[in-house]
Amino acid sequence: MKTLFDILPADFFKPLTSKYRQEYADCIMRLFNAFKPEISYGVNRDIVVKELMDYFEADDTEMSFDDQVYVSDAREKANGVIAVLRKCGWIEYEQETNHQIHVILCEYAVPVIDSMNRIIREEEAEYQGIISQIHASLENEELYGKPYELIIKGVQENTERLLSELKKLNASIKRHMDQQTNDMDAEEILDHFFTYHKNIGSKAYLRMKTSENISYFRTSIIERIGRIMESTEIMERAMAGYMEVEETEDREKAYDEVISMLMDIKSSFYRLDDIIDEIDRKHARYMRSAVMRARFLLATGNHLEGKLSKIIDLYVRQLNSGEEKNLEGLFSLYPQNYISPESIQTIPVTKKVGAISRFSNQAQMSEADRLLYKEALRRKNRSRFSRKNINEYVINLLGDRDKMPVTEVPVESVRDLIRIIYISIYSGNRSNHYEIRRSGRQVEMQGYSLPYFEIVKRR
């Protein structure tokens, strides 16, 4: 089996690992964009030089291509970059009949540059679009004349792409959780939270759970895969297609490979729930972690939690600045002795039987006390930041108005600031009677910088 480095030249990645990797990466992307209007990945060398000169005109960085001579002239740098890319196997020269030199992009470099483009643009797949392509291929009876070439191969590729995109979403949530370090202050955590909510919570996660629910076509797809496997005629045509495309005459191998592909597709759609459950858990953990950390950092009042927060923050600042090296007296450690399950000593089992106490004859809670207790519980529940309470608060706040800016939400305490965070969190819930519209700009409220948005009543 071939490996990646059986195809790529030995120095292929050298430009991207050098000290000028940013310049090389920018030049590669500019070359790729220059090739796009052409009918092939080739263009006259003079055009390539002009394109790179335009880039280096705005970049006064001196570059050395032999670690001895440094050049700053735009044309010299452009020619140097072309020479390095050619030497490392990104491009090659082709001489035309008119003796002009064309720069040709090597075919194995194209998918690498495509991947670089997707990473830069942070493109996200439309899950429903991928599944609808799979479903459409399986439902199209005209394609069953050549099931391997026109159905099975494409369905397998799209299924692998779907799983890959879901795993990328899973990994991106983990990356955002890892970025929540203890070095963040309250403002940074809020900015990070709203960035996550915009790019992941609303853009990808909510879309996956609502408009692009990936379970929409799943039952039909699994049934169609089962039909292919049970049909002798379709399997015969699929085996013949496999043998033709993969250039083999072994019927048993063809049958095993086709069945294996179909079983992989089927099991992949059964596994979707596990992947989605993992995404749900990570999403909920991120949201909970972000809110709890923001609440802790915003809690600077005179109550116990605020005092502890101030004390801990003071010691952290002193330690980071080098002012305080001695932690003696800040906390105490006590030895904890217990018998391990691996210990050779028998764990004693003690049991004391005491006298059973009689029921107390003392009077029970009066009806008035019970009513007061119930009212206290109701007040506590009304003060919780639950979805229902936040929804009622926003609707009462809006009144007869259709919308209002976040700057008009009353803010008299830290608790009111936290309520604004919950208003944003619950805005994506379809059961609520409001939604929010973001603008991308920041506003100052009680000394904190918050993303500006409008609260809009749903009709």
Tell me the pLDDT band of 367, cut-offs 50, 70 and 90: confident
- Taking the C-alpha atoms of residue 201 and residue 140, their distance in angstroms, rounded to an integer, is 35
User: Under DSSP, is residue 281 helix (H, G, I), strand (E, B) or coil?
Assistant: helix
DSSP per residue over 66-107, as a string?
SSS-EE--HHHHHHHHHHHHHHTTSEEEEE-TTS-EEEEE-T
- Taking the C-alpha atoms of residue 272 and residue 267, their distance in angstroms, rounded to an integer, is 9
- Taking the C-alpha atoms of residue 280 and residue 177, their distance in angstroms, rounded to an integer, is 14
pLDDT per position as a tens digit, 89-125: 998 888 877 778 888 888 888 888 888 887 776 555 5
pLDDT per position as a tens digit, 300-324: 555 555 666 666 767 666 666 665 5
User: Can you give the pLDDT at residue 133?
Assistant: 85
Instruction: Tell me which of 389 and 178 has the higher pLDDT.
Output: 389
User: Can you give the pLDDT at residue 125?
Assistant: 56
Looking at the predicted structure, is the pLDDT value of residue 21 above 80?
A: yes
Tell me the pLDDT band of 197, cut-offs 50, 70 and 90: low
User: Can you give the pLDDT at residue 282?
Assistant: 74
User: Can you give the pLDDT at residue 447?
Assistant: 78
Asked if 167 and 268 touch (Cβ cutoff 8 Å), the reply is no
The correct answer on CATH 1.10.10.10 for the domain covering 4-117 is yes
Tell me the pLDDT band of 419, cut-offs 50, 70 and 90: confident
Q: How many residues does the chain have?
A: 459
pLDDT per position as a tens digit, 437-456: 888 788 888 777 888 889 99
Asked if 63 and 22 touch (Cβ cutoff 8 Å), the reply is no
Looking at the predicted structure, is the pLDDT value of residue 424 above 80?
A: yes
Of the candidates 428, 449, 431, 432, the one whose C-alpha atom is nearest the C-alpha of residue 205 is 428
pLDDT per position as a tens digit, 31-63: 888 887 776 777 888 888 898 898 888 777 788
**What average pLDDT does the structure give for the chain?**
78
User: Can you give the pLDDT at residue 430?
Assistant: 76
**What integer is the mean pLDDT of 215-220?**
79
What is the residue extent of each domain of the chain? 4-117, 124-298, 382-457
Looking at the predicted structure, is the pLDDT value of residue 286 above 70?
A: no
> Which residues on adjacent β-strands are paired with residue 70?
64
Q: How many CB atoms lie within 10 A of CB 4?
A: 8
